[in-house]
Amino acid sequence: MTLTVGFLGYRFMGTAHANALARLPMFFPDAPETHRDVLIGRDEAELAEAADRLGFDRYVTDWDPIVEELDVCYNLAPNDLHPEPSIRALEADTHVLCEKPLAHTLDAAERMAAAARESEATAGVAFNYRFVPAIQYAKRLIDDGFLGDVHHVRARYLQDWLVDPEAPWSWRNSAAVAGSGALGDLGAHSIDLAQFLLGERIDRVSGHLETFVDERPVDGETGEATDTRPVTVDDAYTAQAAFDGGAMGVFEASRFATGHRNANRIEINGSDGSIRFDLERLNELEVHDADDRGFETVLVTDPDDPYVAQWWPPGHVLGWEHAIVHENCAFLRSASAKESYAPDFADGLQVQRVLDGWESTVSDRRQWQCHATDTRSRRGVASYLIVLCRSARSAHLFDSGSRRGKHRVNCQFSAHIPLHTCWGVKFLSKSVPRERE
């Protein structure tokens, strides 16, 4: 059976997924056949050029009457356009692969997940890094117990494409369209990778967001900046998390990390071993056994490694786009068989809940209660905390007395204080709600 496919969106991810569909018959001949039928967008002139370049038969500017005609709808549009077209497609039992994050708000993500539960169609979220062979290899190691009891997860996703304050404004700088900045764009990947690899959910969070440039120029028709628009999302975030299995996590992402083009990194430490992955060296996985004296670099390019046998001879490395080919192959197989797929909309909703939890710890401006113990004098403890908290817009320190010979000082401050500046401090964090059954 040939699956009729339509794309909503045609720029970066539209090109990436069209490339994947073109590669599938060459390297995964047992994958379902697809017909690239229609490209959906707003600008007719750009659409016409993109449809021809990406191999689509036709193009339209209205998604509503089209989605029910398709077998598969790829929602590759900006985040605020994820909910309604995806829900409409699922109501028509059209399979949906939606880009991440699932939506621009938690409410929208919940509606999308509900529509997926009610639909007979397959619904997936494009967390493509799950399909990197080295990540699949790491997943096997963890599932086989190589790490023992997992204690730590450290995930960083660093880019530098917005360091220049004159870099033009785009929809990714708008909270109304994107929902969040580096948090949702990059952090969503880190959350999904961590939860996928551990097989555990994040259930407690705390976080800090920062916007370094408050407005950016808008390019005019001549390509020159004619005006500015406000930046209403974060440029960077740092966060802490606790997993329901007992592990603790530290996460960060930035679009201002000078020198880092696309550094997506994750490290997991357990009682018996550790693993490290870096997307900029995506054919490698660093592995440490507790009995060894250091990390070993494993080149994940052998035929028995996940997906590798479909490509080139051993040692011939793969690239970023190959993970999207693997992702498309897995999703289309599930859709063709009308089976469930992972990551699905429930996975996307769980990620959205973590994103919302991190963001709300800042937007709520909640009172953080810090418990610091020290054998020094009370004055010494207070001075120590004042130094730590000097970046706050306001810090209110008060002494609650001593307990069992140790001094306890409560520090109430704005959530604008970066979490990593506080040493020896326990934060009261926000719980991530569970999905309703």
User: Which pairs with CB-CB distance under 8 Å and at least 24 residues apart come from 194-197?
Assistant: 194/153, 194/155, 194/243, 194/249, 194/251, 194/266, 194/268, 195/243, 195/347, 195/350, 195/351, 196/127, 196/130, 196/139, 196/343, 197/135, 197/138, 197/139, 197/142, 197/266, 197/268
Residue 241, beta-bridge partner list: 205, 249
> Is 80 exceeded by the pLDDT of residue 389?
no
Residue 274, beta-bridge partner list: 269, 288
Q: For residue 373, with 0-12 CB atoms within 10 Å meaning exposed, 13-18 middle and 19 or more buried, which class applies?
A: middle
> Is 70 exceeded by the pLDDT of residue 434?
no
- The predicted structure's pLDDT at residue 225: 62
> Is 70 exceeded by the pLDDT of residue 27?
yes
Segment 414-432 shows an average pLDDT of 41
Which CATH number is associated with domain 130-318?
3.30.360.10
Among residues of the chain, what percentage have pLDDT more than 70? Answer: 82
Place of tokens 């007979």: 120
- The predicted structure's pLDDT at residue 432: 73
pLDDT in tens, 232-278: 999 999 999 999 999 999 999 999 999 999 999 999 999 999 999 99
Of the options 3.40.47.10, 3.30.70.360, 1.10.10.10, 3.40.50.720, the CATH number for the domain spanning 2-128: 3.40.50.720
**12-27 and 320-337 are packed helices; what angle lies between their axes, rounded to 10 degrees?**
70
- The predicted structure's pLDDT at residue 362: 78
Tokens of 196: 């996928």
Q: In whole angstroms, what is the distance from residue 334 CA to residue 31 CA?
A: 10
Would you say how long the chain is, in residues?
Answer: 437
- Annotated domain spans of the chain: 2-128, 130-318, 365-431
Q: How confident is the model at residue 130 (pLDDT cuts 50, 70, 90)?
A: very high
Q: In whole angstroms, what is the distance from residue 431 CA to residue 368 CA?
A: 14
Q: In whole angstroms, what is the distance from residue 30 CA to residue 248 CA?
A: 41
Distances from the Cα of 161 to the Cα of 27, 318, 344, angstroms = 33, 24, 30
φ/ψ of residue 223, rounded to 5:
90, -5
Distances from the Cα of 49 to the Cα of 12, 202, 343, 371, angstroms = 14, 43, 32, 60
Cβ neighbour number for residue 361 with a 10 Å cutoff: 24
Cα dihedral across residues 54, 57, 59, 64: positive or negative: negative
Tokens of 297: 């670099």
- The predicted structure's pLDDT at residue 1: 87
Q: In whole angstroms, what is the distance from residue 288 CA to residue 274 CA?
A: 5
Q: In whole angstroms, what is the distance from residue 118 CA to residue 427 CA?
A: 39
- Low-confidence winner among 2-6, 288-292, 343-347, 410-414 (lowest mean pLDDT): 410-414
> Is 80 exceeded by the pLDDT of residue 408?
no
Q: In whole angstroms, what is the distance from residue 262 CA to residue 264 CA?
A: 6
pLDDT in tens, 28-48: 999 999 999 999 999 999 999
> Is 80 exceeded by the pLDDT of residue 417?
no
Indicate if 130-318 has the same CATH topology as 2-128.
no
Q: Is 249 helix (H, G, I), strand (E, B) or coil?
A: strand
Average pLDDT over the chain reads 87
